[in-house]
């Protein structure tokens, strides 16, 4: 399966307008944003766990990165409330689920194969003091990419010029990009050479963003 697999083209998805699709696991549904592959895929997805649902224990051969959007995600390593950012590198394993239900934004098979950095961060707790109405946190950086969290005051501008492309997800509030107004679960991917020019709406916005990673986009090994 290929979905938004041309990484040289801009793409914007209002994911909150997409229908939920059932996954192979009962009680776990998803909204697919980009994908290369079948059930084992390089994928960016919003996943919803019904209360009491879970996946079987599995190993992330290509790594897993996620944000908890609402509720509490759980595995044998602990509870992860809304606002938690997690990186589970290649070779890591767990049994994910949620007793009370949750929604996560997750990226699979997008790590350097040699990466073994595992981390968990409360994104709000990482924020620096605001500059021109934008408070930012560097969540992760390596030679392939940088991952940041931004909290924008009403009307604040977010301008990003970065090599290697830009990807963002609106977590709360609203963000205007050109003529488009992006609300929660609004997802944008810009190819290398296309700068981001965005402005928060009247309620402000919180945004997760990644830069530098698109040249490394490949499908999982068969």
Residue-wise pLDDT for 170-222, tens only, equals 999 999 999 999 999 999 999 999 999 999 999 999 999 999 999 988 877 65
Output the average pLDDT for the chain: 94
Measured CA to CA in angstroms, residue 68 lies from 4, 52, 71, 132, 167 at distances of 23, 16, 7, 27, 17
Express each pLDDT in 10-66 by its tens digit.
Answer: 999 999 999 999 998 899 999 999 999 887 889 999 999 999 998 888 888 889 999
Express each pLDDT in 110-144 by its tens digit.
Answer: 999 899 999 999 999 999 999 999 999 999 999 99
Nearest residue to 42 (alpha-carbon basis) of 2, 86, 83: 2
Tokens standing for 188? Answer: 């944008």
How many Cβ atoms are within 10 Å of 108's Cβ, its own excluded? 22
Residue 3's pLDDT is what? 94
Q: Give the right CATH number for 18-120 from 3.40.250.10, 2.60.120.10, 2.60.40.10, 3.40.50.300.
A: 2.60.120.10
Q: Give the right CATH number for 123-216 from 2.60.120.10, 3.30.2350.10, 1.10.357.10, 3.40.50.10490.
A: 2.60.120.10
Domain borders along the chain are 18-120, 123-216
Residue 182: beta bridge partners? 175
Question: In angstroms, rounded to a whole number, what is the distance separating the alpha carbons of residues 65 and 8?
Answer: 22
Pair 213, 164: CB distance under 8 Å = yes
Question: In angstroms, rounded to a whole number, what is the distance separating the alpha carbons of residues 89 and 113?
Answer: 8
Query: Among all chains, which residue has been given the structure tokens 């605001």?
Result: 130
């Amino acid at each position: 399966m290929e979905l938004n697999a041309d990484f040289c083209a801009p793409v914007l998805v209002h994911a909150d307008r997409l229908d939920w699709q059932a996954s192979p696991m009962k009680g776990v549904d998803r909204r697919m944003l980009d994908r290369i592959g079948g059930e084992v895929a390089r994928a960016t997805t919003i996943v919803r766990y019904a209360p009491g649902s879970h996946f079987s224990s599995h190993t992330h051969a290509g790594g897993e990165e996620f944000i908890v959007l609402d509720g509490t995600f759980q595995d044998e390593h602990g509870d992860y409330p809304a606002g938690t950012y997690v990186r589970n590198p290649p070779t890591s394993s767990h049994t994910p689920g949620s007793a009370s239900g949750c929604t996560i934004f997750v990226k699979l098979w997008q790590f350097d194969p040699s990466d073994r950095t595992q981390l968990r961060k409360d994104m709000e707790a990482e924020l620096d003091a605001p500059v021109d109405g934008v408070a930012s946190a560097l969540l992760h950086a390596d030679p392939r990419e940088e991952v940041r969290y931004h909290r924008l005051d009403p009307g604040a501008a977010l301008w990003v010029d970065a090599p290697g492309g830009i990807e963002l997800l609106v977590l709360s509030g609203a963000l205007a990009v050109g003529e488009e107004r992006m609300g929660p679960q609004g997802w944008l991917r810009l190819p290398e050479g296309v700068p981001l020019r965005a402005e928060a709406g009247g309620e402000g916005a919180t945004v997760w963003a990644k830069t530098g990673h698109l040249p490394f986009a490949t499908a999982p090994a068969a």
